[in-house]
């Protein structure tokens, strides 16, 4: 059958249809290519890279934190991250094997690992900061089963050599290496460094191609911090602070700060109780553990977080408190600088002062009588300071408070610093009662760091410094990247006024309410405080909670160091700062001043009563030992019939008061019997000495003016009831029975 030739019109129509079809197809292809290559370029590029390239992050080593003498406080040790490549897992059996064995080795939940094996990627972290022993076990498992889907990468783990040491200052990191608290958080960007990368090409099966297709970008380790913290000073402060919390049954934690008054550098800062930086989420308080065990679900998680936050809270910078009589240092500085009082001007204290029709009592019933301003400070007399407040005036009082930095944060290099809670300008400018009560440190609040910074300005020549914790930032080679010089914000009072204040504070310790901070050979100044927590009242509407505090300076004739200690809610018979905080600060000074190279300079009177080191006569003949001890001012007592000394008690080098007894044992069978230490707490020095000597012990008496009637023993070491060698030394701390400085301000 012959074909009918197509006419030209038909051919044209067919060609038109063909061209239209081709045009539509080409347009569709062009549109799709435009969408893929232009509109969705980044999406498909990422997919291509994901199929062709494996990108692994290399964790940098976090910077080290040092004390000011380059002792390590926080360091990153080598560790590894264990991860899997889900896309490389060959089958369900391999996934189950990986989940089971990695759970066994690493202690990670098996179901969690099994879920990660189904992810659509090449990088799922199983566990970070894995130490070498466990990492090697993972490596052996990987090799035994020839698993390309299991891998390890270099990592690091934060380690704190001293555990809980300076925990509220140093802070800690989370599992991702990010700083959470303290310096670790504040300087995180400095410490963390810059991550590196390993970029590896993959073949069609998803496995790594040869090394020549790999690119390695080095990680930059973090920089290191050199802090102002002195490891020795911090240890001494923490030791005595922890003992004070126990001895005085402190309910709401205690805190202490040591500052270089000349620069604002923080040598030590501690809050007790604290927490272990290597295990910062461990709750050790049995009552809190029991409370958590009674909760479930969201209630459990919420309460647990509250407890953690409370544990980690740095009381020295984050909590405000009413400073009480310690604030009188600031008030007298204002008054002297404003020239509204002279040192020898007298005041009369009948036991109260009436201010705008309101009778406000002195803490001493019957009052202090006639006294000058120096004696008023020594006596911590409230009416004297109410009068000073009136002379300063509310407006000026506010301006000085602002100048001393009490209305603003100090700017210390830590997160979480609180600001003081003070009267607004108009209230105190027009409120004579408010000014009167504020003058002796009640009805407003400051933070401990604000308080010690202001007091340092009162004694350092008048200069308000910004407190700081980091002196410099260095790299791995020790090259200084950045240094931080002391920052003087302003001069608040003159050097002349400052010298007067320091001298007055020395008299508070030598003959005033601060006697229990006295140390032989050192010129210590300071001020006690006992404040009422007026915003916390019991069921009867009475504010019955107290804060006892003491701020000490040394040496008073050339102030270098200040210590502020406060105990929040001590529960003892007498909670005054003079009986609790002052003796504790004395113990701190006794340890830290020699450690800082500040050596004692004794007066003739102090030299006469000074303890001496016992000569070592343990290998001498009896006659030689007898002569040496007599010459040194000690009383020898020979026990046994031998010709040579086998043992002596106290041993050579121990301190003993002149006239102390040294036992010389000449026969081994007679050596050093153990006897029970009697209790001397509450006794006068004379009675305590007699009781200890009768029991066969020597006494080392700590305290000032031990011949005065109101002095009594407050603590002893070894403790009563313990066993100690006959003839050994029992150290007894004596305190003056300080009168209360607290007075109710419920007006």
CB atoms within 10 A of CB 9: 8
What is residue 325's DSSP assignment? G
Nearest alpha carbon to residue 549 among 527, 516, 534: 527
The dihedral through the CA atoms of 330, 336, 338, 341 has a sign that is positive
- Please tell me the distance from the alpha carbon of residue 492 to that of residue 595, in angstroms, as a whole number: 31
Structural tokens at position 609: 């009563």
Residue 325 is among the residues annotated as catalytic for this protein: yes
- Pairing label, strands 463-465, 488-491: antiparallel
Unique residue bearing structure tokens 């380690």? 159
- Do the strands 661-665 and 635-639 form a parallel or antiparallel pair, or are they unpaired? parallel
Phi (first) and psi of residue 36, to 5 degrees: -70, -45
CA-to-CA separations, 394 to 360, 399, 400, 428, 439, in angstroms, rounded: 18, 9, 10, 5, 10
The number of residues making up the chain comes to: 747
Q: Is the peptide bond before 650 cis (omega within 30 degrees of 0)?
A: yes
Omega prior to 569 cis, within 30 of 0? no
Reduced to 3 states (helix: H, G, I; strand: E, B; else coil), residue 495 is: helix
**CA angle 25-26-27, nearest 5°?**
90
Where is 589: in which H helix or E strand? Answer: helix 581-595
CA separation (Å) from 670 to 49, 553, 645, 660? Answer: 86, 48, 11, 21
Strand runs (DSSP E) across 224-297, as ranges? 224-227, 254-260, 266-272
Q: Which residues does residue 613 pair with via DSSP β-bridges, in sequence order? A: 655
First-residue to last-residue Cα distance in the chain: 127
Cβ-contact 524, 585 below 8 angstroms = no
- DSSP for residue 440: T
Q: Which pair of tokens denotes residue 448?
A: 């401990």
Report yes or no: 527 and 551 within 8 Å, Cβ to Cβ.
yes
Query: Is the bond leading into 273 cis (omega within 30 degrees of zero)?
Result: yes
Question: If you search the block for the tokens 């969705």, which residue do you land on?
Answer: 40
Q: Is the dihedral of CA 708, 711, 717, 721 positive or negative?
A: positive
Q: Are 661 and 637 in contact (CB under 8 A)?
A: yes
Task: Yes or no: say if 153 and 56 are a contact pair by the CB < 8 Å rule.
Answer: yes
Phi and psi at 478, nearest 5°, equal 90, 5
Structure tokens, 629 = 């001890």
Using DSSP bridges, classify how beta strands 647-649 and 196-201 pair: parallel, antiparallel or unpaired.
unpaired
Strand partners, 529: 549
- 555: preceding bond cis by omega (within 30 degrees): yes
Quote the CA–CA distance of 63 and 566 in Å, as a whole number. 33
Dist CA 653 CA 661 (whole Å): 14
SS3 594: helix
Q: Active site residue: 76, 88, 156, 325, which one?
A: 325
Contact 369, 349 (CB under 8 A): yes
Residues designated catalytic = 325
């Amino acid at each position: 059958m012959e074909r009918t030739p197509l006419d030209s019109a038909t051919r044209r129509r067919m060609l038109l249809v063909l061209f239209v079809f081709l045009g539509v197809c080409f347009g569709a292809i062009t549109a799709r290519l435009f969408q893929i290559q232009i509109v969705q370029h980044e999406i498909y590029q990422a997919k291509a890279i994901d199929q062709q390239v494996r990108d692994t992050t290399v964790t940098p080593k976090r910077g080290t934190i040092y004390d000011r003498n380059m002792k390590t406080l926080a360091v990153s040790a080598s560790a590894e991250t264990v991860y899997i490549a889900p896309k490389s897992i060959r089958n369900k059996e391999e996934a189950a094997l990986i989940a089971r064995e990695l759970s066994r080795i690493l202690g990670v939940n098996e179901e969690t690992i099994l879920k990660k094996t189904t992810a659509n990627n090449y990088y799922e972290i199983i566990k970070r900061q894995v130490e070498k022993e466990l990492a090697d076990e993972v490596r052996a498992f990987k090799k035994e089963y020839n698993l390309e889907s299991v891998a390890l990468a270099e990592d690091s783990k934060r380690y704190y050599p001293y555990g809980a040491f300076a925990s509220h200052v140093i802070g800690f990191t989370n599992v991702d290496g990010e700083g959470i608290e303290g310096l670790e958080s504040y300087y995180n960007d400095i410490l963390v460094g810059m991550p590196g990368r390993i970029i590896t090409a993959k073949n069609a099966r998803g496995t790594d191609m040869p090394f020549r297709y790999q690119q390695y970008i080095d990680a930059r380790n973090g920089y290191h911090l050199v802090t102002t913290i002195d490891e020795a000073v911090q240890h001494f402060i923490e030791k005595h602070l922890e003992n004070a919390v126990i001895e005085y049954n402190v309910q709401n934690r205690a805190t202490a700060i040591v500052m270089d008054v000349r620069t604002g550098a923080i040598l030590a800062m501690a809050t007790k109780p604290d927490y272990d930086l290597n295990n910062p989420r461990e709750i050790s308080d049995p009552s809190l553990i029991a409370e958590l065990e009674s909760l479930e679900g969201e209630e459990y998680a919420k309460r647990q977080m509250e407890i953690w936050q409370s544990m980690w809270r740095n009381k020295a910078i984050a909590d405000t408190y009413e400073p009480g009589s310690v604030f009188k240092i600031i008030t007298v500085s204002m008054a002297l600088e404003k020239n509204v009082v002279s040192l020898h001007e007298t005041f009369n204290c009948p036991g109260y002062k009436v201010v705008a029709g309101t009778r406000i009592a002195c803490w001493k019933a019957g009052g202090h009588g006639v006294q000058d301003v120096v004696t008023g400070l020594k006596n911590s007399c409230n009416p004297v300071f109410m009068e000073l407040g009136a002379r300063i005036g509310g407006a000026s009082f506010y301006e000085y408070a602002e100048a001393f930095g009490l209305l603003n944060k100090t700017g210390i290099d830590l997160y979480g610093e609180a600001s003081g809670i003070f009267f607004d300008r108009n209230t105190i400018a027009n409120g004579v009662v408010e000014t009167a009560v504020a003058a002796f440190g009640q009805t407003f609040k400051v933070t401990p760091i604000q308080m010690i910074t202001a007091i340092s300005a009162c004694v350092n020549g008048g200069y308000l410094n910004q407190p700081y914790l980091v002196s410099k930032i260095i790299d791995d080679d020790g090259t200084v990247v950045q240094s931080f010089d002391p920052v003087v914000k302003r001069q608040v009072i003159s050097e002349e006024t400052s010298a007067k204040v320091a001298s007055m504070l020395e008299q508070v310790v030598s003959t005033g309410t601060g006697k229990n901070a006295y140390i032989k050979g050192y010129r210590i100044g300071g001020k006690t405080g006992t404040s009422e927590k007026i915003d916390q009242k019991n069921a009867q509407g009475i504010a019955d909670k107290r804060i006892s505090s003491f701020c000490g300076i040394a040496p008073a004739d050339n102030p270098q160091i200040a210590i502020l200690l406060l105990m929040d809610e001590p529960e003892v018979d007498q909670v005054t700062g003079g009986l609790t905080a002052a003796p504790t600060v004395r113990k701190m000074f006794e340890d830290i001043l020699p450690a800082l190279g500040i050596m004692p300079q004794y007066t003739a009177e102090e030299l006469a009563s000074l303890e001496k080191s016992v000569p070592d006569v343990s290998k001498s003949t009896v006659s030689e030992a007898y002569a040496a001890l007599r010459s040194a001012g000690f009383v020898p007592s020979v026990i046994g019939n031998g010709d040579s000394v086998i043992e002596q008690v106290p041993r050579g080098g121990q301190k003993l008061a002149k006239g102390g007894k040294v036992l010389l044992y000449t026969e081994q069978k007679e050596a050093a019997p153990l006897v029970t230490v009697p209790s001397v707490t509450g006794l006068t020095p004379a009675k305590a000495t007699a009781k200890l000597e009768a029991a066969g012990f020597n006494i080392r008496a700590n305290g000032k003016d031990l011949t005065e009637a109101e002095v009594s023993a407050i603590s002893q070491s070894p403790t009563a009831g313990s066993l100690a060698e006959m003839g050994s030394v029992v150290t007894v701390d004596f305190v003056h029975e300080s009168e209360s400085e607290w007075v109710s301000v419920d007006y």
